Structure 1
Amino acid sequence: MIPLPLLVLGLAATSPTAAPSTAEQLHAVCQTHAQEPGTPWALAHGITLEGRDFRARDGRRAVDVIVSDFLRRDAAPGGRGLFFEPSTPQGQPVAPHPALLEKTLVLAGVPLGRKFQTDEGPVTLKHLVEALQRTFRPALASSAEGAWTLDALGHVLTPGASFQNGAGETVRIDAVMDEALVTLERAQSELAEGMKAGLPQVPKRKQGIYTHPCGGLHFFQAVASWARHPAVRRAWGGRLEAQVDVLLYRLGSEARQYEAALATAPQHRLALLSQSLKFYGHFLETLGRYRKENGWRPSASQQRAVVRAHQLLEATVRRLGEAQAFQRMPTLAREEPQLFWDLLGDSCHAAHGLDLWK
């Protein structure tokens, strides 16, 4: 059997005169549109793909732009302390999901002691993490918006650690992550039942995992990443592996529904292709992180599913190219901004997913 990395690379192989590969096209979209210094959300996606040295169009490091230009401080007693607004007054996304920017900096490997200059004086990433801990609510472990906070704290804390939030509660990170695993199991339960029953698909009705942003794949990443600790894997037994199997089943389930929708609703083709890009890209990113962080060694059938996801992503990008979607992004930014943001962010995540499987 050909090893998975060779299979994946073979799918994307090109000759010197061939058209750009899927990965090259997605990298180009991210690099072109994620550099705007007035849009920290976009800069964060550039960092996710290109690393902590990614630069904004004005030449500054994106990590500096994000913190120096957009960090706010609520100094009132009992206030939020250091925080990022969800968006700018002009409507540009800053941090539409709680802790998205902090999580991006942490996962990019920015040192906790790294100093950023702000209007309020120097601030370190450690200060930002401490602000997350002060505002942490235990309900985030079961919240659709908790993924980014869980991922950030899960990378700066270790099993057995605890901290005190602003309400005076002692928060045990093990208990938080245990609850997050339970939340993932509940959210994927209908898919798990469909898998066990041998159903070809489970309809998406904005239920369960589909109530989460990006189909819950960021939440999945946060939970799976915590299991990189051997003590956590032992405590969880095979529960996380069972959720990986559900995710692999979900690939076929969603692919069938996207194809059916494209056939029956051609008037929504661009939006449907954007959704496909989101799912296949995040799918590859999620399992790529699982392999990198946890040492996951997929079985032969699991390898085939990953290769299939790569093929589906390639087909989606080809169709988006045929629709001139990437060429039209400046126009979409003015006329259909949400579609523009989706194409931009999901191109970055998809390119990152492909890079993780090189």
Structure 2
Amino acid sequence: MLPSFVALLGLGLSAAPPPSPAAPSASALLHAQCRTHAADPSRPWALAHGMDLDGKAFRARDGRPASDAIVAGFLRRDAPDAGGTARYFFDAFTPDGTPVEPHPALQVKTFLLAGYPRSHSFRTAWGQVTLRELVASLQHDFRPALAASPDGAWALDALSHVLEPGQSFVNGAGETVRMDAVMDTALATLEAAQAELARGMKAGLPQLPKNKQGIYAHPCGGLHFFQAVAGWARFPSVRKAWGPRLDAQVDVLVYRLASESRQYEAALTAAPAYRVPVLVQMVKFHGHFLEALGRYRDETGWKPTPAQARAVEEAKAALEHATLRLEATGAFRDTEALSRTQPQLALDLVGDACHAARGWDLWASAKAR
């Protein structure tokens, strides 16, 4: 019987001959996959993933900055009443199903983390709009319940980059939203989601099966949620208040590395027909893992222990191996064709390549740090 998570992955492509000795490196493959397939100006979700890798420098295929293509083509506005303020938003999907912002605040979070100042102005069909106005609309729409939702990661990440401990805002429902309380709830949510993994780690279990429970019910296995929570600890007062609680969540993430890696390798052996989807999942997990810990290090000054540093090297090796095996199937070369038969898998091939390339870059010079 196949592992339960394999049955959800879908069918893969037929295996192709292994790459030649002159084949590109795993890093080059990931970067090329992202920069080639994320640049379509009609695919705003993909453009945002290109920005995850290259920030403000990422451009759509037509030469425009990716952010300009996203805002000009897909930002929507609720016109204000007399004397009121306009509300800006992105739909989750276009009418034909193209993802725009399937997770609340993904685009605003992307612009903020790319380094755009809030004073930056974007051109739209009705005139100029600033990133500050987009943030104000995010705050208007934000509800504290998102702090306990798997879909809240992107909004939390965005807000934590425009607010500091002790600050608050009033949302469209008239509620005063206090960021300290929101992020404390988010940490508690992360702890609850990873509780089963924490128990497995403490019990010394070699692995904990992933069956869409707990953190595995989150998009991308909850690694965006981890990033949003962990980044708040860049403030010394937060780091002091959370202390061992956040340290424990980092330990759980490192435990997940060994646990999940074993299960992916077992799935490859047990279900060769699912080779491509499993390899994509491997690139997804290891790339997001490296991105999450790389951001945590850079944003908070975290210094990994020797064991944690070894885990990072193991994740890099696993990402490299999975990427090269995925290239051998022909999946990277056939992404456009795959989008017509397995659109979600094709999207994963693009988005996960972008995250993985960024995760790789964050640790590429780790020995020099």
When normalised by structure 1's length, the TM-score is 0.93
Structure 1 distance, partners of 2:52, 2:287, is 13
Match of 1:14 in 2: none
Pair 1:273 & 2:285 matched: no
Structure 1 letter corresponding to 2:44: P
**Paired residue type of 1:75:** A
Give 1:12's aligned residue.
Answer: none
Q: Distance in 2 between matches of 1:127 and 1:145?
A: 22
Determine the structure 1 residue equivalent to 2:239. Answer: 233
Deviations along 1:218-252, whole A, 9 cap, x unmatched? 00000000001001001112111110000000000
Which position in structure 1 is the counterpart of 2:17? none
Q: Which residue among 345, 353, 359 is the counterpart of 1:347?
A: 353
What residue in structure 2 maps to residue 65 of structure 1?
69
Q: Deviations over 1:156-198 (max 9, x none)?
A: 1111110000010000001000000000000000000000000
CA contact (8 A) 1:80 1:135 kept: no
Task: Give 1:195-344 correspondences, 5 Å limit.
Answer: 195-344=201-350
Match of 1:156 among 142, 149, 162: 162
Choose from 50, 53, 63 the match for 1:49. 53
Aligned amino acid, residue 26 of structure 1 = L
Residues 72-112 of structure 1: CA deviation (Å, up to 9, x unaligned): 01237799921001112222211111111110000000110
Report sequence identity in percent. Answer: 63
> When the two structures are aligned, how many residues end up with a matched partner?
342
Aligned to 1:35: 39
Task: Find 2:178's aligned residue among 172, 175, 184.
Answer: 172
Q: Distance in 1 between matches of 2:86 and 2:26?
A: 42
Show structure 1 runs of 5+ residues with no match: 1-16
Match of 2:23 among 11, 19, 23: 19
Relative contact order, higher structure (CA 8 A, sep 6+): 2
Q: Which amino acid in structure 1 is aligned with residue 253 of structure 2?
A: L
CA distance in 2, matches of 1:163, 1:260: 48
Q: Counterpart in 2 of 1:146?
A: 152
Normalising by structure 2, what TM-score?
Answer: 0.90
Q: Secondary structure at 1:227's aligned position in 2?
A: helix
Change over 3 Å in CA distance of 1:80–1:255 after alignment to 2: farther
CA–CA distance in structure 2, aligned partners of residues 341 and 154 of structure 1: 28
Look up the equivalent residue of 2:312 and give its one-letter code: V
Q: CA deviation at 1:120?
A: 2.4
In the alignment, the residues of structure 2 paired with residue 224 and residue 82 of structure 1 have an alpha-carbon distance, to the nearest angstrom, of: 28
Aligned to 2:13: none
1:356 pairs with one of 356, 359, 362: 362
Instruction: Could you tell me which runs of 5 or more consecutive residues in structure 2 were left unpaired when the two chains were aligned.
Output: 1-20, 365-369
Which SS does the other structure have where 2:150 is aligned? coil
- Cα distance, 1:18 vs structure 2: 4.7
